[in-house]
Each structure stands twice: as C-alpha cells, then as structure tokens.
Amino acid sequence: MELWQLLLILGTLLAAFVAFIWMAIKIKSIHVNTSSASNSNDSGPDTKINQVVDQAFTEDFREELRTRAKDQFEKLIHENAMFLQQDVRVSAAQLDDFMKKEVIATLQQELAKHHQSLAQTKDMVASSITQTKQQFEQDMQREKEQKIKQLDENIQDTVKQYVQAAVGDVIDSEKELALIVDSLQARKSEIFEDIRRNG
C-alpha cells in the first residue's frame, strides 16, 4: 500500500468521525430547539414531529449509534493497521532485496577492480621480466663482444704462448712460429665467427 493510499484512508476515517460528531451535535441542537419550542408552543405540527424525533432518538438509540460508530471506526483503524503492517512487511522484503542487490553489485565492482589491478600487476611483472631479460642479453652480448675484442687485440701473443707451450719442442725457430701465427691471423675472421656462434 502506498503512502497516499494510507493518507486517503486516514482522511476518510477522520471525515466520517467529524461527520458523526457534527450529526450528534446537530441532533442535540434540534432536540434543544424542539424542547424549547414545545415549551412555548405545544400544539403545532412541528411539535408533533419533534416529539416523534425525540421518541425515535432516545438516549439508548443515540448510545447505540455512538457504539456502532465507535466499533466501525475501530474496525477501520484495525483493518488499516493490518494493511499498514502488511505494507511494512512488503517494504522490508523489498528493502532487503534491494540491499542484497546493492551489496552484490558493490562486491562485483570491487572484484572487477581487483582483477583489473591483478592484470595490470601481471602485465607490469611480465614487462619487467622482458626488460630484464633483454638487458641481460644485451649485457651478455656486450661482454662477449668485449672479450672478443680483447682476444682480437691480444691474439698474436696468446696464440704464440699456446703454440710454444704445445709444440715448443718441435718448432725451434721464430720463423716457423711466425708462419703459424700469420696463418692463424689470416683465418682470424673465421675463428671469431665460430666463437660468436658457439658462445
């Protein structure tokens, strides 16, 4: 039941109650007027009508009318209270459903934000790992190039040392050693390519 319906019912009850009171006052004033009129003039047709009305609207009848009106009023109030109670229950159930939906919607939004945050963190970690890997590979390549450059600069002395250590007893002269070193020097680019390829 809507609020305007409840207000309409209460307004109707209040109007009926006011009408009942007005009717009781009017009847009482008619009774007072007829009593005073009967005292002043006992013989007119109005007097007879007033006497009939007085006989019909005895104090017991008026009390019965009041009792019936009171019972009707209480009955209407009771029925409206029941309707109001039912409306409160329905409203409470609707409010409960609304709150559940709102809580679920809020949780879903928070979970979506959490998943988005996790995805962003995952992307950042993957990007960081990729960058670290690339940096590591670049550092390794730089170090390799540096070692190759050092080897290129000192290859002649290094080869001489190893050749002398390996075949020093067989080769006696400096010329033979120079020939071997020159032969290696001529194939230096092939040697370095093999080193680069094989790490």
Total-model pTM: 0.36
> Based on the domain organization, do 8 and 47 belong to the same domain?
yes
56 neighbors 105 (Cβ within 8 angstroms): no
> Based on the domain organization, do 65 and 162 belong to the same domain?
no
Q: Which is higher by pLDDT, 47 or 16?
A: 16
User: Residues 122, 126, 131, CA angle at the centre, nearest 5°?
Assistant: 145
The amino acid present at 130, given as its one-letter code, is T
- Let me know if residue 130 belongs to a domain: no
- Let me know if residue 189 belongs to a domain: yes
**Structural domain count, the chain:** 2
**The two three-digit tokens of residue 26, written as one number:** 């009017």
> Based on the domain organization, do 109 and 55 belong to the same domain?
yes
Domain boundary, last residue among 120, 155, 173: 120
- Residue 165: give the domain boundaries: 141-198
> Based on the domain organization, do 95 and 155 belong to the same domain?
no
Q: Is the pLDDT of residue 112 over 80?
A: yes
Question: How sure is the predictor about 177, in pLDDT bands with cuts at 50, 70 and 90?
Answer: low
Q: Is the pLDDT of residue 198 over 60?
A: yes
Domain boundary, last residue among 68, 86, 120: 120
Which residues lie closer than 8 Å to 69 by C-beta, 6 or more apart? 17, 20
- Let me know if residue 156 belongs to a domain: yes
Q: Tell me the average pLDDT across 101-114.
A: 92
70 neighbors 80 (Cβ within 8 angstroms): no
Give the CA diameter of the chain.
Answer: 177
> Based on the domain organization, do 116 and 147 belong to the same domain?
no
Among residues 54, 60, 65, 52, which one has the least CA distance to residue 31?
A: 54
